[in-house]
């Protein structure tokens, strides 16, 4: 395998959401990531039918080993693999790995250099540590959800990007890489406690600074970056499609006025916040006068800070995304390409997702855990 993480061996305890996303990031960058899947159970209910198919994009690039961790021999097999790994990542509730006899103490005793990455919503400790939750709940507690949406509506769920993937998976991946770098010097592994509520709060660092300074208030939809400003928002066009405008800097704002043909002197006081609602209505009427295609012809490629709001069918077809190869096709499924880019250690194109247990024999052979080892006798 190629890529900047080539040579690293990482064990992924298969779960949902942020942990698979972090594992995908590692695999995209060339790490050898093996998925520890549960053995398939015939007739078992599956609320996510795309899992285990080629449409399970976050499972790309990894081989799969099926282990029943309720069985002592399979737990022993996992510990043999832990002894040969650089990192293990898991996304269970606090205490689950310990109850299986596979907690950090046991794993670090087996491999003192192991980085044990833990992904939860609320963290490994605290009053809510054992409570169920989802992305929406974690970003709600961080203060970020309240800031999203229009002033006359409840806070708008921002998909599951802020908690699961931004505040969760990416923080886990960053933490694990940090610990792996530190282990090169110390020779010692450690536990990485990544919590979505922590990461979501950290994503809001700039906004918390603005608020402390007095440049942000808690009235949703009244600030510069939350849709309150007429020059930083989305607008409907004549064809019902949308465009985005982010003309914050004065020179970009002047280009916006020029390209929209605005001569109204009220628009010259860009930062006069009491006028923003009225200016937004006027600008909305202007954008409704042309189709999105017409506005793209007028504005795209200029310094207005403009882009059409594309849907997921349109985005892969945009000339800029095509030029950058931002989307790839794997086994007939269009999906985002690995990111970021590297000038020298370029990763391979990801392999399609594996079926649970598809590579069990190959993984055990390649990692030197042989069928003759008592720990693997039932694997």
Section 56-78 average pLDDT: 95
Q: Which of 74, 164, 198, 226 is catalytic?
A: 164
Which pLDDT score, from 0 to 100, does residue 43 have?
67
Identify the H or E element spanning 236: strand 232-236
Looking at residues 54-64, what average pLDDT do you find?
96
Catalytic-labelled residue, pool 56, 68, 134, 259? 134
Residues 6+ apart with CB under 8 A from 114: 82, 85, 86, 87, 88, 107, 108, 189
Calculate the alpha carbon distances from 71 to 40, 123, 216 in Å. Answer: 15, 28, 54
Q: Is 134 a catalytic residue?
A: yes
Residue 260 pLDDT more than 50?
Answer: yes
pLDDT score for 50: 82
E runs forming strands in the chain = 9-13, 32-37, 63-66, 87-90, 115-120, 190-195, 232-236, 242-246, 306-308, 327-330, 333-336
pLDDT band for position 232 (50/70/90)? Answer: very high
Q: What is the pLDDT of residues 333-374, one digit of tens each?
A: 999 999 999 999 999 999 999 999 999 999 999 999 974 444
Regarding pTM above 0.85, the answer is: yes
Mean per-residue pLDDT of the chain: 94
Determine phi and psi for 145, rounding to 5 degrees: -60, -40
Cβ-contact 145, 1 below 8 angstroms: no
Q: Measure the CA angle with vertex 113, ends 112 and 115; round to 5°.
A: 110
In order of their start, the domains of the chain are 9-203+329-376 (3.40.50.10540), 242-308 (3.30.1540.10)
- pLDDT digit string, tens, across residues 149-179: 999 999 999 999 999 999 999 999 999 999 9
Residue 193 banded pLDDT, cuts 50, 70, 90: very high
Averaged over 120-144, what is the pLDDT?
A: 97
Q: Is 239 a catalytic residue?
A: no
């Amino acid at each position: 395998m190629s890529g900047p993480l080539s040579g690293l061996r990482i064990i992924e305890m298969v779960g949902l959401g942020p942990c698979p996303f972090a594992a995908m990031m590692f695999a995209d960058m060339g790490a050898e990531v093996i998925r520890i899947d549960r053995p398939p159970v015939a007739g078992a209910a599956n609320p996510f039918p795309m899992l285990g198919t080629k449409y399970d994009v976050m499972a790309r690039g990894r081989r799969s080993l099926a282990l029943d961790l309720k069985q002592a021999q399979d737990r022993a097999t996992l510990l043999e693999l832990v002894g040969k790994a650089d990192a293990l990542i898991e996304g269970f509730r606090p205490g689950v790995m310990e109850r299986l006899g596979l907690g950090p103490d046991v794993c670090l005793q087996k491999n003192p250099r192991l980085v044990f990455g833990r992904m939860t919503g609320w963290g490994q400790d605290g009053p809510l540590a054992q409570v169920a939750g989802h992305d929406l709940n974690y970003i709600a507690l961080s203060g970020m959800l309240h800031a999203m949406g229009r002033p006359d509506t409840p806070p708008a769920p921002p998909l599951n990007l802020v908690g699961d993937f931004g505040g969760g998976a990416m923080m886990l991946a960053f933490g694990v890489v940090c610990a792996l770098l530190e282990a090169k010097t110390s020779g010692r592994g450690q536990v990485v406690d990544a919590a979505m509520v922590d990461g979501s709060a950290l994503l809001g660092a700039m906004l918390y600074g603005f608020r402390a300074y007095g440049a942000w208030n808690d009235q949703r939809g009244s600030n510069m970056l939350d849709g309150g400003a007429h020059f930083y928002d989305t607008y409907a066009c004549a064809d019902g499609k949308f465009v985005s405008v982010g003309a914050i800097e004065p020179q970009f704002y002047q280009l916006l006025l020029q390209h929209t043909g605005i001569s109204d002197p009220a628009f010259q006081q860009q930062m006069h916040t009491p006028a923003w609602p009225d200016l937004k209505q006027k600008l909305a009427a202007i954008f409704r006068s042309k189709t999105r295609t017409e506005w793209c012809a007028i504005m795209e490629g200029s310094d207005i800070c403009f882009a059409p709001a594309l849907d997921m069918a349109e985005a892969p077809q945009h000339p800029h995304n095509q030029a950058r190869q931002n989307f790839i096709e794997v086994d007939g499924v269009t999906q985002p390409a690995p990111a970021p880019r590297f000038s020298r250690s370029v990763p391979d194109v990801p392999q399609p997702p594996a079926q649970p247990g598809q590579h069990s024999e190959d993984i055990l052979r390649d990692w030197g855990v042989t069928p003759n080892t008592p720990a693997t006798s039932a694997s």
